[in-house]
Amino acid sequence: GSMEAARNGKAGSGPSGHAEGPAAKCGAGCLRGCRGFLRRNALVVLTVSGVVAGVALGTAVRGAALSPAQVAYLAFPGELLLRMLRMVILPLVVCSLVSGAASLDTRSLGRLGGIAVAYFLGTTLLASGLAVALGFIIRPGAGAAGLNAPSLTDAVPTSKETVDSFLDLIRNLFPANLVAAAFQTYATDYRMLPRNTTSGNVTWEKIPVGTEVEGMNILGLVLFALVLGVALKKLGQEGEDLIRFFNSFNEATMVVVSWIMWYVPIGIMFLIGSKIVEMEDIVVLVTSLGKYIFASILGHFIHGGIILPLIYFASTRQNPYRFLLGLITPFATAFATCSSSATLPSMIKCIEENNGVDKRISRFILPIGATVNMDGAAIFQCMATVFIAQLNNVDLNAGQIFTILVTATASSVGAAGIPAGGVLTIAIILEAIGLPTNDLSLILAVDWIVDRTTTVVNVEGDALGAGILNYLNEKEKKDKEQELKEVNVEAVANSKSEAETSPLVTHKNQVSNTSSTADPESKESVL
């Protein structure tokens, strides 16, 4: 059914888009859209059916009790998809941002960057506020007390001090070693040192120690790539070769992405199928944490289905749902992989081909958005925090709520697009408002459900942001062209009048000349 709907929706959006013509898109984009229509549609239908087939596969295989090893073998094709997507991320992010920053002129780079930052911060704050409000209305943690079933206990990450996590964020912005930044991130860890006091008993002191943990430091690479792009632009003539190199590297990576995209439906099928087989007794989860799951997904639905499209509509006066319809493939990828950075390749490809977003805009804003803009994560973190507060019968005061909003907005920047990265940031928020972190095992138990809608909303926020920036950029270009036209017209008129008056000056005497020029002026004034 959903497949049919997707196909019908696609078919519907084609001709109507054509009818609007130049008003909506430039003609070339329309032609390209119509040519790529059939090819593109095939992928969308395959992806959606991949999701459906995955659910079917999972439910079918659940009956046969598989050993953990067999489940791992079932997940193998999906694992391959994740590995391929991760492989492309590094060249994609670095090359996109270098060529993006180098191709935009400094003024518009600053302007677009400013708007993007405002949009990212604004939407994330909105998301956090919405989540806290929903948490207070639905009260997911009220009935769930005393639920530490042994099946739900899981390893809880050691909590970091709030200060240290912010300092880590800033440290990661400036990686000490670019090569290491491609596979390591800086994280503060703690060592306990014994201190002998005068009375003879031993006190333990917590001392922060810098460590490198596994995982790409995307934030540092993003900043470096942007700075490098601007620097190459500054070099002018000398920098052009390197800019061209990054451009072609970028294009080649996008070609590789377009090949990987055809494997996406298969990978998605096995990812979702194996997840369904892996599930613990789902009845226990849903009965105990059902309200929390419902509240989180409702928050994602409201933010992604209503608030973000409204912001897009208010900014561009265009139909947001038609824009989102072109992005079914990346959304399905986000749903299956739970990783916004793994969705980045297909998102860049689809937003350029299906929605006609300018390459310079999409390649500049989407890599940044994938690392920085996490609306879904902010919703999920705030909801989890309110949930844990209610579990422990803590009434949050205004100061604590403010702390939650600020910390969630800030730490969603630091939670680079890794699956379950959000759970670590919840630990930071809990530390900041002084709640125990041992209930995090509950959140971890259902993380794989909530993480899916989380990632879809994260990715959707980036996409709509790119759409808004693209619209503003086009508008500015049109205004500039308009100004240029007017200037040209004036210039032409002046040159003509000069050409006409010059013979007058030479042939006739000065008196007649002045009278002839005064004459049309007086006529004009009368008119």
Q: Which of 44-48, 158-162, 272-276, 399-403 has the lowest mean pLDDT?
A: 158-162
Question: Cα separation of 470 and 463, whole Å?
Answer: 10
Q: How many domains does the chain have?
A: 1
Please indicate, yes or no, whether the overall pTM of this predicted structure exceeds 0.75.
yes
pLDDT the model gives residue 213 = 84
Q: Which amino acid is residue 104, in one-letter code?
A: L
Tokens 């990265």, located at residue: 421
Q: Which amino acid is residue 243, in one-letter code?
A: I
pLDDT the model gives residue 330 = 95
Q: Using alpha carbons, list the distances in angstroms from residue 208 to 31, 164, 191, 435, 480.
A: 59, 8, 6, 21, 54
For 429, the token pair is 């928020």
Is residue 516 a part of any domain in this protein? no
In which domain, by residue range, is 435 found? 2-482
> For the segment 59-76, what is each residue's pLDDT rounded down to a tens digit?
999 888 888 899 999 999
> How much of the chain exceeds pLDDT 70, in percent?
80
Judged on CB neighbours under 10 Å (0-12, 13-18, 19+), 123 is: buried
> For the segment 468-510, what is each residue's pLDDT rounded down to a tens digit?
999 999 999 899 888 888 887 766 555 544 444 444 444 444 4
> For the segment 188-222, what is each residue's pLDDT rounded down to a tens digit?
888 888 887 777 777 888 888 888 888 888 889 99
Is residue 147 a part of any domain in this protein? yes
CA-nearest of 134, 424, 152, 448 to 291 is 134
Is residue 520 a part of any domain in this protein? no
> For the segment 302-341, what is each residue's pLDDT rounded down to a tens digit?
999 999 999 999 999 999 999 999 999 999 999 999 888 8
Judged on CB neighbours under 10 Å (0-12, 13-18, 19+), 182 is: middle
| Strands 184-196, 202-214: pairing kind | antiparallel
For 345, the token pair is 């390749």
Is residue 260 a part of any domain in this protein? yes
Question: Cα separation of 464 and 127, whole Å?
Answer: 15
> What residues are paired with 195 via a beta bridge?
203
453 pLDDT more than 80:
yes
Is residue 487 a part of any domain in this protein? no
Is residue 277 a part of any domain in this protein? yes
What CATH number does the domain containing 70 carry?
1.10.3860.10
> For the segment 359-370, what is each residue's pLDDT rounded down to a tens digit?
999 999 999 999
Cα-Cα-Cα-Cα dihedral sign, residues 333, 334, 338, 343: positive
Is residue 230 a part of any domain in this protein? yes
Is residue 164 a part of any domain in this protein? yes
